[in-house]
Chains A and B, each alone.
Chain A
Amino acid sequence: MNNAHPTKTAAQEYWDGVKDELPLMLGVMPFGMVFGVLATEAGLAPKVVMAMSVIIFGGASQVVFAQLAGAGASGLVIASTVGIINLRHALYSATMTQYINTLPMRWRVLLSYLLTDEAFFVTLHRMQTQPPSPFMHYHMLGTGSLLWIMWQISTAIGVGLGELIPPSLNLGFAIPLTFMAITLPQIRSVPSLVALIVAGIVAILCQDWPWNIWVITAGIIGMVAGYLTEQVITKRNSAGESL
């Protein structure tokens, strides 16, 4: 037993996950409330709105679902739009599998259900910055379960108190702020800056494409741009050394 670096217990990993996720609730709660309000205004019944937060459990896609349903879009269009918006989670799935690919099936199913943007980014940070441990998947259970509970509560608040929340508060702005707050400190290299800029430009240029396909398109092109930049820099550095 190495006392200098004792392995964290399952409970410690779980509570670390909860603690790491907690500050994000300042952004997630308004997000859930905005969804509850929008979905109710779009004409969806309260029980439908609540069930959606359990069945889909994906903020941005639920907002789009409500908007499309309110605009009278067909079920096929709604479901395929949600599917395409959430395709980015396959990228998170590929990233996270590197850390949890030895777990039993029930764990992988549960953690997949909880694999949202906010839980993924926070747990990925733990995976990358702390030593591996046999219980590190409990960290993801912590981030995911806190997010799940608060998402249900804030949806309910939005449904129940919708009319009391003035639109002039612009609570939806809390969403991009939350995403920026967790990522900006992590962007330190030229390739990741290139990935960010390229993905942003593609996302703007492809806005008119159908079914919100620009989310996954911009994400993948940004990743490839970051990778290629890294290759160029590595090549240039090794060329410089050989001179």
Chain B
Amino acid sequence: MIWLVMIASGLMTFAARFSMIGLFRDRELPKLFREILAYVVPSVLAAIIIPDILLVAGQVAVLDNPKIPAFIIAMIAAALTRNVLVTISTGMIALWVIRAVLG
């Protein structure tokens, strides 16, 4: 049963990834479509990141949420260094330090 569910999930995932690559052979996407797709990176990433940072147990939590200051520190590191390794390490260390300080 679990295998069936997994294979169905895998097929649907592949279908999404293959959809447009399979459909558009030697053809261009319509112009409007391309202009909207130009914003795929900030939109989809915000949709993934922002709930991840702001929500604690399904509720928006601003106070008592160490993820927010740690994330802001990591953003500063990203803006200053533009380095992925530095950004991730700074964010993780910031989270550990803030949680240790707040007990």
User: A86-B13, A192-B39, A195-B42 are contacts. A218–B18 as well, Cβ < 8 Å?
Assistant: no
A232 to chain B, nearest CB (A): 13
Does residue A150 face the partner (Cβ distance < 8 Å to B)? no
* Cα distance, A23 to B81, chains bound together (Å): 14
Cβ-defined contact, B37 with A94, below 8 A: yes
Those of B17-70 within 8 Å (CB) of chain A: 17-29, 33-55, 58, 60, 67, 70
User: A90-B20, A223-B37, A226-B42 are contacts. A176–B10 as well, Cβ < 8 Å?
Assistant: no
Cβ-defined contact, A180 with B5, below 8 A: no
CB neighbours of B60 from chain A (8 A): 204
A192 — nearest CB in chain B belongs to which residue? B42
Cβ-defined contact, A173 with B42, below 8 A: no
Cβ-defined contact, B39 with A226, below 8 A: yes
Cβ-defined contact, A97 with B21, below 8 A: yes
Cβ-defined contact, A93 with B18, below 8 A: yes
Interface residues on A, range: 35 or more
Cβ-defined contact, B40 with A91, below 8 A: yes
Those of A73-104 within 8 Å (CB) of chain B: 75, 78-79, 82-83, 86-98, 100-102
Does residue A158 face the partner (Cβ distance < 8 Å to B)? no
* Cα distance, A177 to B90, chains bound together (Å): 9
Does residue A141 face the partner (Cβ distance < 8 Å to B)? no
Give the interface SS of chain A, mostly helix, strand, loop or mixed. Answer: helix
User: A55-B10, A195-B43, A195-B46 are contacts. A97–B16 as well, Cβ < 8 Å?
Assistant: no
B41 — nearest CB in chain A belongs to which residue? A183
CB neighbours of A51 from chain B (8 A): 3, 6
Does residue A11 face the partner (Cβ distance < 8 Å to B)? no
* 8 Å CB contact of B87 from A112, A181, A226: A181
* Cα distance, A184 to B4, chains bound together (Å): 39
Does residue A175 face the partner (Cβ distance < 8 Å to B)? yes
* 8 Å CB contact of A97 from B24, B50, B51: B24
Cβ-defined contact, A44 with B2, below 8 A: yes
Those of A159-194 within 8 Å (CB) of chain B: 168-170, 173-187, 191-193
* 8 Å CB contact of B39 from A94, A121, A195: A195
Does residue A196 face the partner (Cβ distance < 8 Å to B)? yes
Cβ-defined contact, B91 with A173, below 8 A: yes
* 8 Å CB contact of B46 from A95, A97, A203: A203
Cβ-defined contact, A177 with B71, below 8 A: yes
CB neighbours of A168 from chain B (8 A): 99
* 8 Å CB contact of A176 from B8, B42, B48: B48
8 contacts between A and B (CB under 8 A): A52-B6, A101-B26, A112-B17, A173-B70, A173-B95, A180-B87, A203-B48, A215-B44
Interface residues of A (CB under 8 A from B): 23-24, 26-27, 44, 48, 51-52, 55-58, 60-61, 65, 69, 75, 78-79, 82-83, 86-98, 100-102, 108-109, 111-113, 115, 117, 121, 124, 168-170, 173-187, 191-193, 195-200, 202-204, 207, 214-215, 218-227, 230
Supplied contacts A121-B41, A178-B84, A179-B49, 13 more A-B pairs, CB within 8 Å = A55-B7, A56-B9, A56-B10, A88-B47, A90-B16, A93-B19, A108-B18, A173-B91, A176-B48, A180-B78, A181-B88, A196-B43, A227-B35
